[in-house]
Amino acid sequence: MRTNLKTQNPPKRKKSIVREYVESFAVALILALIIKCSVVEAYKIPSGSMEDTLLIGDFLLANKFIYGSKVPLLPIRLPALREPKPGDIVIFKYPRDPKVNYIKRCVAVEGQTVEIRNKVLYVDGKKIPDPPSGKHTDSFIRPNVRDPRDNFGPYKVPQGYLFMMGDNRDNSADSRYWGPLPRELVVGKAMIIHWSWDSDPNAPVVTREDLLSIPKNVFYNIIHFPKRVRWNRIGDIIR
Annotated catalytic residues are 49, 104
* Residue from 57, 63, 28 nearest 42 by CA: 63
* Residue 130 falls in which region: left (phi positive, over 0), alpha (psi -120 to 50) or beta: beta
DSSP the chain: -PPPPP-PPPPPPPPPHHHHHHHHHHHHHHHHHHHHHHTEEEEE--SSTTTTTS-TTEEEEEE-STT-PBPTTSS-BPPPSS---TT-EEEEEETTEEEEEEEEEEEEETT-EEEEETTEEEETTEEEPPPTT-B-S--PPP--TT-TTT-EEEEEPPTTEEEEE-SBTTS--SHHHH-PEEGGGEEEEEEEEEEEB---TTSPPP-SS-TTHHHHHHHHHHHTHHHHB-GGGTTPBP-
Q: Which of 99, 32, 52 is nearest to 196 (CA)?
A: 52
The span from the CA of 155 to the CA of 21, in Å, is 58
